[in-house]
Amino acid sequence: MARTPYIAANWKMNKTVAEAAEFVDALLPRIAATQHDVVVCPPFTALHEVVERRRGTAVRVAAQNMHEAESGAFTGEVSAPMLVELDVEAVVLGHSERRQFFGETDAALARKVPAALAHDLEPILCVGESEEGRDAGETETVLERQLQADLAEVADADLPRVVIAYEPIWAIGTGKVATPEQAQEACAFIRDVLRGRGAAADEVRILYGGSVKPDNAAELLALPDVDGALVGGASLDAEDFAAIVEAAG
């Protein structure tokens, strides 16, 4: 089935409010004709500015993380209702940097993903193996473990509401890129895992993330099981990100 391409800009801890405004103003005219789903993921401080500047356009906004509770004594955290109040539509969950540097666990993600869905936030769930895991031939083992654990509390009927981002950790911010064969194999395997749950796996958008740039985007996005990209460094430049959106066809 035809799946609408999904291109997301993960800015990570970059861009002030003023820089975010400048980016959105530069991006919008460049992608005005796109039929793809274009999502910008600013830091928390710039969410409001990006939401307001994209109003009336096809661009959607995602946060980079959230807590599973609606409120409580969780200093420094942000909840789904807080994001919804800002008109944020999606949230990145389980990014490898959150897992690696901030101790995010599969157990926490098993709570976060259904919490996002309960508030009509679209989860962009990140999964992927380390370089050591790939070298040891454990890519499929890691992916299946993460998917089964992180989606354990999501009903099969709700799985098409989740976007999955395959991000091989060894390709994030390193300049290394999975070969088209590696990306396709991993994304096809992810779809097979979802299919094994009896889900409508052909409806799930699966993204590739890992040093996606304008010069490699078209080849990666043409793969049959790659439905879009979670873009890091190249998403900080409006012209580069627009080129990646265009590369999706």
Tell me which of 36, 68, 95, 97 is the catalytic residue: 95
Do 183 and 176 touch, CB atoms closer than 8 A?
no
Count Cβ neighbours within 10 Å for each residue of 39-73 and write b for 16 or more, e otherwise.
bbbbbeebbbbbbebbeeeebbbbbbbbbbeeeee
Do 39 and 228 touch, CB atoms closer than 8 A?
no
Annotation marks residue 167 as catalytic: yes
Do 5 and 36 touch, CB atoms closer than 8 A?
yes
Spatial distance between the Cα atoms of 225 and 190, rounded to a whole number of angstroms:
9
Neighbour tally for 171: CB within 10 Å:
24
Spatial distance between the Cα atoms of 176 and 102, rounded to a whole number of angstroms:
23
Active site residue ranges: 95, 167
